[in-house]
Chains A and B, each alone.
Chain A
Amino acid sequence: MALLRRPPLMLILVVTSQFLQLWIAFGSVNEEGQRQEEFYEELLLKPLPDRKVLTHFHFQSSAPPTSNGRHHHLFPKAISQLVQKFRVKEMELSFTQGRWNYESWGGFDSIPSSNAKPPGVELWAVFDVPQHLIDSLWKNLTHTLSGLFCASINFLESSTAYSAPEWSFPPASGNLRYGTLPREAVCTENLTPWLKLLPCRDKAGISMLLDRPSIYRGFYHSQRLHLTSTESGSEGMDPGIILEQTLTVVLQPNSQRASLAHASEKHFQPSWSLSSIFGKQVSGKCVLAETSNVYLLLDRGLVAELKQLHKENEKSAEKVLISENFWTNPCFELSAKPDMIFIEESSLLSKNSSVLYKFEVEKYSEFEPFDLGLTWKIPVVWLCQQAPLHASRFLMGSGNERGAIAISLKSTQLSEGFMGANSDYERCELRVDVFQVVPWYVKVYFHSLQVFVDQQPKAVSDIIEKIHVSPSKDKVSPGVMELVLKLPCSVSSAALTIEFDKGFLHIDEYPPDANQGFDIPSAIVSFPNFHASMVFLGNDSLNKSPLLSKFKEKSRVMSYTEVLLVPLTTPDFSMPYNVITITCTVFALYFGSLLNALRRRVAEEERFLKDKAAKKTGRLPLLLSKLSAKLRGRCLEPTHSAPASLSFINSQLVLKVILVAGLAVRVKVRIEMYADQVEGAGKRSVKERLNGNSFHNSIPRRQTTGKRQRQDEKWEHDLYHDDVPQVSNRTTDARDLRLKLQRKSLQQVSQSGRGALSGVRDLREKLSGTMNPWPVNADPPKLKSDVTKPTRRSVAVETSEPEPQKAATTAAKKKAQQKADASVEGFLQSLGLEKYAITFQVEEVDMTALVHMTDDDLKALGIPMGPRKKIILALESRG
């Protein structure tokens, strides 16, 4: 039933929402007591002195405080949720690529002081909650924004990445958190979600101009999102929110004239139009927008320069500027007629005033698109208004150990305007706020702060009025320095230096591109005494424009310094590998010798006792005396003894070398063999050997090997022979059984009971057979020590190194002989018929079977007459 009922409901919803939208679109006309959601779109264009054009998009949506739930019609829901959830009072997020050129693009206007941002991402937010809750809210906010804007803002979550400025950051309050990511790359991925917050997206209105390739080809672009939530008047009402989205792009128009590159033409400013710089035109406004305007701003310097030019050319300069047809003046030409011209209210600070042309997009449509163009007729050169001091920051020193950060402030020599205002020139002071965050791995020594004014060192207390420092904590928080400088007005240059040590990071704290170096985020230098504001004279329509009211606001002049790159010591990341290799080698050597010592202890002690009995001298003197005797002999009769000793040594040496070489060859052969093995087989062999060893260790007192072995074999044979009673035994003592199996496979001897073994056993044998084909090869390590002990004892207590080995090898051979007699191969070997061994092996004939084989059986195996007779004879003689 519910399913059936839903479609009509949906339909109703859709219809009402449609209606609502329509209603809202024209809703601004309705005066309903309560303010409506509003959206404004504006674009400001401004020619820059260095042949570039500044375009500044300004979109503003506002949601009034409402009590009717969380329904918004224009305002982006994501933002309002964000504000409600994280109790954000004010927030600003900016994505920037490129550097704002303070020198040529100006540093005093409200556009640079509020829209020039450091490269990468900058985020600050003021929260409306008690102190202890802020950090957790900040962390959640970063994650939300990170998801919203497809950027790694979530890296600001870590407490090492953000700071809490106390008072030097403009919207100063204790509830502020500030963080930057200087290395964040900005791309269309970030712009698209930003555009989605606009009601018309980039489908209609001014935002249609936002052509991605031309924006990202620009010299600077900064996409900013600023929101303020206004206090709600009464309880239960959601706060009103003003969302301000700006995009500041500096573009270079590629005019045809520049390409001609005539010497005279070079001095012309390039002419441009909206279509030439964006490749698009505006076809009407966004229908949801209250107003949709385009402004052209000629700044103070340019206007002054134009006036100057007019004075040269004509007499009635003043008139022309303000006159209505200024847009077709002799200096430049506009392609569209401005709807209104505003002239800035001349302020105290400067005599010149800027001129603003207003174009209303409303009047244009798809058939008659709006395309503003500016064509210069004469070459003009002007300068933008600068901040009182130009700040730059750089690193000093070299090497991986320490360095210094220097912030240098240079007067821009535009002081007459600013300083003239102050009557008392001598005593006037220029206040400069500096806010600097340094990551913890740059360990700043705040005591080393030095101040130079006009190239003279000054006492810190003379210049710095107020300082707040929160030193960095390793891996916890960055260092923050906030300063208020009081500089004399006549200052021409000032510098601050502060030294730092470069810290060491833990290996997992290095980023993947560690060798690039680490960033120190921009310092913020602001001038609280100076306010960037432009007040335009005109009618009330100006008040409706959010952009112009923004200009009216008195914001303090701010500038960001460069991001610095500090090369830190980076470890060689192949180092761990080397260290592992070296430690393994050392361990192998150490444990090798240790194990050796442990194994030989009993014998050593015995020998030691005997030595003691024989002679009571210590070891070292003995060694020394022997050595000295040797040397003495050589020294006294160098001509006679040296060759003798040499030859003696040589024979011994040669023997040793041969032995070592032989061992090496064998080891190499074995390694190659192992390399050829399948993995499983390889594993098995190791296990085998281990088992073999453990078995050997478990019976240390075995003296006469042959006999004992045979006993074992017999027992084993019994065990295998009568299968049925031994089942229980196998289960109860599996380990024991396995040991036996191991041993058996090791020895490869099948004297009697082989035939009765199960198929599994045979398979195993085959597998292991490839590994240890000959018992002679497999056994020596085990047999050697067994046999050497008796030989050593019999021959001498002291034997030189090759001796026991030789004995061992001979003994091993003998042993092999003994054992070989018990196997088919050995048997055949003794008859000189080794070549038939393979035939027997193929037929899985072992000694037990061989005994029962008749002449016919042998014939069936394909053994010729002679050998057959020999075998039968031998078997008979064995009985």
Chain B
Amino acid sequence: MAETREKSHKPKPRVRPIVRLGIFLVSHSFLVSVVCCTSGVLALFLLPVLAKNTYISENALMPGSASPMLSNQHVLDGNRLVKDLTNSNLKSSETGIESHKIIAQYMLDLGAEVSFHKFHPQMNQFHPLHFFSSPDSGKIQENYSCSSYGINTVGVIRAPRGDGKEAIVLVTPYNALKSGFGEALSLGIAYSVFSLLTQVTWLAKDIIWLVADSQFGEYAAVSAWLREYQTPKFSSLSTLNSEMCPDINNLFEIKVHSVAGSKFSNSFRRAGTMAAALVLKVRDQGEQFEDTISIYAEASNGQMPNLDLINVVNYLAVHRQGLRVNVEKLRSLLNSSWLKSLGEIFESLAKVAKTLNPKCKFGIPATEYVEGTATLASSLYYQALGVPTGPHGAFRDYQVDAITLEISPKFSLDKVWRNDILLRGGRLIEGVIRSVNNLLEKFHQSFFLYLLTSPSKFVSVGVYMIAFALLIAPLPMVAASLYVDANSSSNFLKGDSSTPSAVTDAAEHGITIRSWKWLNSAKLVFIVHLWGAIVSLLPYFICQIPDCSPTTSFVIWVLLSILSLLILNSVLASPLACVKASQEKEWALVKSVTISSVFIGLGLMSVINFATAEIGALVMVPMCLLAQPLKLDVRAGTLRSCCRIICNLVLGHIAFPPAAFFLLKGMLDGFGSANVGDFWMWVESLWAWNSATYLFIGMVQLPCWVLCVSILFHSC
């Protein structure tokens, strides 16, 4: 009461509550940002606790409702193929033609339509403007030698009564030249399933079995086939070229002595729209305690297949075939004690909560938490990297849901265990194909945006967005408060100096000038971002230089970047220098504009690739928020400023992309092997996969780092 009465002598206009709230938040931006950032990080660590159990969302899938039909007969068939392939490998390993012929012959005997697909491995090249464009048919290069051909063998089973509008694809990568036993076994599994599927009557979708020639990499073969499938070139010289190679023409001399209506043709075989694709691999050496099956799902730019597909595989593998399902996890996190203790804290918290309200049960055991976090971290990492984790990535480019299944058997693959693996793996694949075959519509029911914390647990977009939103929420507030701060401080100075009579006039004039002050800083920020764009384009030109080792390329890149920064700075005037005289608080304005640009960048990136934005925000948000000229802090000399200096220096080092890369690499592989060229290689792989992460690093993170460093060394 007293307070209000005191205040009442100075009437203040009533502002709408939302504006008042905004003003309140802006004026307490420090507190808000600390709270938001910590809660953002905390929310990230809470995600494994908040993960929900997966469930099969699409009713039509009905996994496991039919008993598997794959019998020992099919397994024996598969075994026969494996034997033949391994024998032929011993016989003639000069060219892989023989084994291709064997596979084709086997397919033909089943009555499938068989064709070979010849392809040139297309080198992934950096195309500056190809980042988000859909894949095109690619350009044909003239001078390919015969040895640079890859040959995919494709078998198609037509659904007996189906209308042929849809197809399911089964891919087995196979290197005919030096195939391990695992690859042959994966072919065996696929063959046993294939031989079953030629007999069944329930097929509604066509089945395509693609034996991808992996001598140029698994991905290249699959993507070449897909390119031919989806965007064929009608006018091409490549087929003319291929006819000159005698080896490949040998292929087509397969004797068709089967009566089963098998068709072999030179032409490319197609089925309908692809409903789903499975890539099957078998790992050679078994060192696991159990037969495990690993699921790889991340495609380019962090796209994931529909969660239902993973659920079906997981359900069938665990509940029907007794296989252990495994999702990639960061091994180094598994043994970290701090995670374990964090998990214990959460566990005990959950216990407390349970005593208070027996209904709430969100706690998970500490070990599970650690595993969940490790899986989540790897899920985030691979999504953020934007590089597909297997050949399934090629399918995602054409909006086909696909996953890679890697079976790693318990024991070495001797006779008995081989049959066991053939049977169980085959039944798993059969079950998945049958489920997808049941599907009337394409996958759409379940989630596309999710993070896995275990094969049977996921965090959906609605939950993990919170952590990110909390992290970036303080950015606009701090930007606004800095802006107001910079403006008002100058206003204050002016107000003091001028006489009261001239107050209104000068103030008005001052306002108009001040309100445009930020343009200077904006100009600086714009220049730095422009520079970022140039830096991210430079590799395109550098990789044109012939015979360049990664190290030299990297050095050239760095030098050119610095040069371009200097040039840009001099050409477009040095804004820092000219403003310095007039404005003391210039750095605050620069920081404010930087922060808002970072906010925009992170917001955009979160739409394209959420994981990248999340990891970027973890590094950049503290750096941006803490950045303050070192001189000021040194002058202040308090404990708080000392802390800030240390934080700033550490973050300034970590946030520099190459430094971050080497740190991460060192943490994962040890520091001994670090090499300057590695970064170049890494960047090369990023742009080769058209990863948006590359753009993010070049156009958001690097400029932000430069701006923050310039603020740190601001002379005020």
Contact = CB atoms under 8 A, between A and B. Distances in A.
B491 interface: yes
A97 B160 CA distance: 10
Contact of A398 (B109, B134, B165, B489): B134
Contact of B270 (A380, A394, A631): A394
Contacts of A99: 158, 162-164
A798 B273 contact: no
Contact of B232 (A97, A406, A649, A795): A406
A495 B236 CA distance: 13
Interface string A512-542: 0111110100000000000000000000000
A133 to B, nearest CB: 35
Interface string B13-31: 1111000000100011000
Interface in A775-818: 795-800, 803
B440 A611 contact: no
B332 to A, nearest CB: 38
A657 B485 CA distance: 27
Nearest to B445: A515
Contacts of A217: 201
A410 interface: yes
A104 B12 contact: no
Interface in A448-473: 450, 452, 455-457
A771 B263 CA distance: 81
Contacts of A495: 234
A515 B442 contact: yes
B261 interface: yes
Contacts of A397: 134, 230-231
Q: Is the interface of A mostly helix, strand, loop or mixed?
A: mixed
A652 to B, nearest CB: 8
B84 interface: no
Contacts of B442: 515-517, 567
B31 to A, nearest CB: 8
B233 to A, nearest CB: 9
A636 B1 CA distance: 29
Contacts of B166: 565
B27 A627 contact: yes
Interface stretch (A45-53, A141-149, A722-730): A45-53
B259 A628 contact: no
A517 to B, nearest CB: 7
A717 B273 CA distance: 82
A562 to B, nearest CB: 5
B591 to A, nearest CB: 15
B8 interface: yes
B161 A797 contact: no
Given A567-B273, A796-B8, A798-B11, A455 B165 contact: no
Interface in B2-46: 3-5, 7-8, 10-16, 23, 27-28
Size category of the binding interface on chain B: 35 or more
B261 A267 contact: no
Given A52-B261, A565-B273, A632-B488, A513 B12 contact: no
B231 A515 contact: no
A478 interface: no
B158 A623 contact: no
A103 B115 CA distance: 14
Size category of the binding interface on chain A: 35 or more
Nearest to B484: A631
B53 to A, nearest CB: 21
Interface in A220-270: 220, 266-269
B455 interface: no
Contact of B488 (A119, A406, A516, A628): A628
Interface in A72-94: none
Contacts of A103: 263
B263 A803 contact: no
Contacts of B5: 795-796
B547 interface: no
B426 interface: no
A395 B273 contact: yes
A456 B273 contact: no
Contact of B13 (A562, A623, A628, A796): A623
Contacts of A267: 257-259
A268 B259 contact: yes
Interface string B126-140: 000000001100000
Contacts of B15: 623
Closest 10 CB pairs of A and B: A50-B261, A796-B8, A515-B441, A452-B234, A628-B488, A565-B165, A398-B398, A119-B163, A798-B11, A516-B441
29 contacts: A50-B261, A50-B262, A97-B161, A99-B163, A104-B261, A120-B163, A219-B160, A267-B258, A379-B259, A381-B257, A396-B231, A398-B398, A456-B235, A495-B234, A517-B165, A517-B442, A610-B11, A611-B11, A619-B13, A623-B12, A627-B488, A628-B492, A632-B489, A796-B4, A798-B10, A798-B11, A798-B12, A800-B4, A800-B7
